[in-house]
Amino acid sequence: MKYQIKIAQKAGFCPGVKNAFLKSYKIAENHKNTCIYGEMVHNNFALIPIYQKGIVLKKTLDEIINDKNIENVIIRAHGIPPNEEELLKNNGKKIFDLTCPKVKKVQLLAKKLSDEGYTVIIFGKENHPEVLGIKGYCNENTVVIKEFDDLKKTNIDINTKLALISQTTMNSIEFNKISDKLKNSYSNISFFNTLCDFPIKIQDNSIEIAKEVDLMIVVGDKKSANTQSLFDKLTSVKKTIFVETENDIIIEEIRSFQKIGLTGGTSTSQLQIDSIKKYLEKNL
């Protein structure tokens, strides 16, 4: 049987993540004793090249501040709160800010709204690094919700001006649902769609590919929320499997599928997708 393997055109790193990776490589070449504050993406495979360049991972602020050997700190694409950046600078660390430009816009928007007296409602995941960074730009009158009913659990002052923004990687359908419910419940609310459209483009393009093939393979790390969301969407269209490495592939189980599609989330590197493609071509 002659097999056809097709890669989704939009699969892989979003522009913000790609930019952060490329710049981190250059930083590593010119600056020793460099760390990255938190994982660049939720994908162990994609992080290997960064560590091979000599950059070390530090997961907490205290780790960085207390390590006198660390001179340079890379801020990952998710961004960090401004008070943490100030603390790093005050402790003599040189900052390389690789915050995604779209995330930076949300941070500055949140600050502007907060300064103007709005209670900022962030649609996102409470402890996600991007959300923690955005919250840091607001005053204390800020809440994070994943669904409309979460508002009932807060001490939000409904008599103040309200503004809804979003973590950039959240689901657009859910954002619209929450927006509609808020619109029907509060007259004093403004809406700002701060979602990134790149994950949506990946999903749309992958669904197009799924309709043309017999099997879809989603490549990425299962810790990645956007890659898991991509997998969930595709399973409703076509038989789909989720793999992190070639070790997850059982060749005997996919030999009956002549046309195979490959895709990956915004935290999946092209190298990871290509390695799966090469493995399939060699073993099918």
Among residues 85, 130, 140, 212, the one annotated as catalytic is: 130
Distance of CA 223 to the CA centre of its chain: 11
At 229, the pLDDT band (50, 70, 90 cuts) reads: confident
Mean pLDDT computed over every residue of the chain = 95
In the chain, count H helices and then E strands.
11, 12
Q: What does the pLDDT average to over 198-225? A: 94
Q: How many CA atoms lie within 13 A of 176 on its CB side?
A: 3
Q: What does the pLDDT average to over 97-109? A: 98
Residue 173 has pLDDT above 90, yes or no: no
Given this model, what pLDDT does residue 225 score? 80
Active site residue 130: yes
At 253, the pLDDT band (50, 70, 90 cuts) reads: very high
Q: Are 65 and 91 in contact (CB under 8 A)?
A: yes
Nearest to 78, CA basis, from 41, 116, 121: 41
pTM above 0.85? yes
Nearest to 49, CA basis, from 18, 75, 72, 80: 18
At 53, the pLDDT band (50, 70, 90 cuts) reads: very high
> Which 3 state secondary structure label does DSSP give 188?
coil
At 210, the pLDDT band (50, 70, 90 cuts) reads: very high
The first and second tokens of residue 192, run together, are: 């700002």
Task: For 22-50, write each residue's pLDDT tens digit.
Answer: 999 999 999 999 999 999 998 999 999 99
Amino acid identity for residue 165 in this structure: I
Q: What does the pLDDT average to over 195-203? A: 93
Max distance between CA atoms of the chain, in angstroms, equals: 67
Q: What does the pLDDT average to over 73-81? A: 97
Given this model, what pLDDT does residue 198 score? 94
At 265, the pLDDT band (50, 70, 90 cuts) reads: very high
Burial label for 227, CB within 10 Å (0-12, 13-18, 19+), is buried
At 206, the pLDDT band (50, 70, 90 cuts) reads: very high
Q: What does the pLDDT average to over 62-71? A: 97
Q: What does the pLDDT average to over 276-284? A: 96
Residue 227 has pLDDT above 80, yes or no: yes
Task: For 149-169, write each residue's pLDDT tens digit.
Answer: 998 888 877 788 999 999 998
Given this model, what pLDDT does residue 155 score? 81
Given this model, what pLDDT does residue 232 score? 92
**Residue 224 or residue 280, greater confidence:** 280
Given this model, what pLDDT does residue 218 score? 98
CATH numbers and ranges of domains, the chain = 4-12+197-283 (3.40.1010.20), 15-99 (3.40.50.11270), 102-191 (3.40.1010.20)
Task: For 176-195, write each residue's pLDDT tens digit.
Answer: 999 999 999 898 999 999 99
The sheet carrying 162-166 orders its strands as 142-145, 119-123, 162-166, 189-191
Residue 229: C-alpha distances to residues 203, 225, 242 (Å): 9, 6, 11
Given this model, what pLDDT does residue 160 score? 86
Residues of the chain with pLDDT > 90, as a percent, come to: 87
Residue 106: C-alpha distances to residues 103, 109, 120, 195, 205 (Å): 5, 5, 12, 9, 26
